[in-house]
Amino acid sequence: MPLQRGRRLGIDVGSVRIGVAVCDPDGILATPVETVRRTPSATTDLDRIVELVVEYEAIGVVIGLPKTLKNTTGVAAETARAFGDRLAERIAPAEVHWQDERFTTVTAQQALHASGRTVKSSRGVIDQAAAVAILQGWLDARR
């Protein structure tokens, strides 16, 4: 079954920052959007993601689910799931999907390093690059 036409956001939920990416309406290419700072109340960051869903007219959101190498979930996965559940309530009927995100941050760091960026200069975009990897992986798996 072909992928429904429409933009989707990719989300990399971290403890300090949330990376955001978006794909084109045909679901071919994911590109970085922005990095959202996590807030203690967890409403300001959630509000910003909801704003981005509306701004990009997204029909869905793909959230990275951090699993261990043994394919189990831990605190980071629980945090991502809780964020995704709160987001799903706010963006319905847009759907929330989950994508295994093992190695996405490592892959993003390696790609940025290969392009000549240092870890320090990459902090602002590493989460966006991880969100791109999450969304692109989800798109590619559905083609």
**Mean pLDDT taken over the chain:** 88
Q: Does residue 2 sit within a domain?
A: no
Q: Does residue 65 sit within a domain?
A: yes
> Could you tell me which of 82, 78, 4, 13 has the C-alpha nearest to residue 48?
13
Average pLDDT over residues 81-101: 95
pLDDT reported for residue 74: 83
Q: Does residue 134 sit within a domain?
A: yes
Rounded-to-integer distance, Cα 135 and Cα 107, Å: 14
Please count the structural domains in the chain. 1
Phi, psi of 4 (to 5 degrees): -60, 135
Residue 85 has pLDDT above 90, yes or no: yes
Q: Does residue 85 sit within a domain?
A: yes
Residue 18 belongs to what domain range?
8-141
Rounded-to-integer distance, Cα 8 and Cα 141, Å: 14
Q: Does residue 74 sit within a domain?
A: yes
Q: Look up the pTM and report it.
A: 0.86
Q: Does residue 3 sit within a domain?
A: no
Work out the pLDDT band at 118, boundaries 50, 70, 90. low
Neighbour tally for 7: CB within 10 Å: 18
Residue 39 has pLDDT above 90, yes or no: no
Q: What is the CATH number of the domain that holds 102?
A: 3.30.420.140
DSSP per residue, the chain:
-PPPSS-EEEEEE-SSEEEEEEE-TTS--EEEEEEEE--TTSSHHHHHHHHHHHHTT-SEEEEEE-B-TTS-B-HHHHHHHHHHHHHHHHHTTSEEEEEE-TTHHHHHHHHHHHTT--HHHHHHHHHHHHHHHHHHHHHHHT-
Work out the pLDDT band at 11, boundaries 50, 70, 90. very high
Q: Does residue 80 sit within a domain?
A: yes
Rounded-to-integer distance, Cα 49 and Cα 35, Å: 10
Residue 122 has pLDDT above 70, yes or no: no
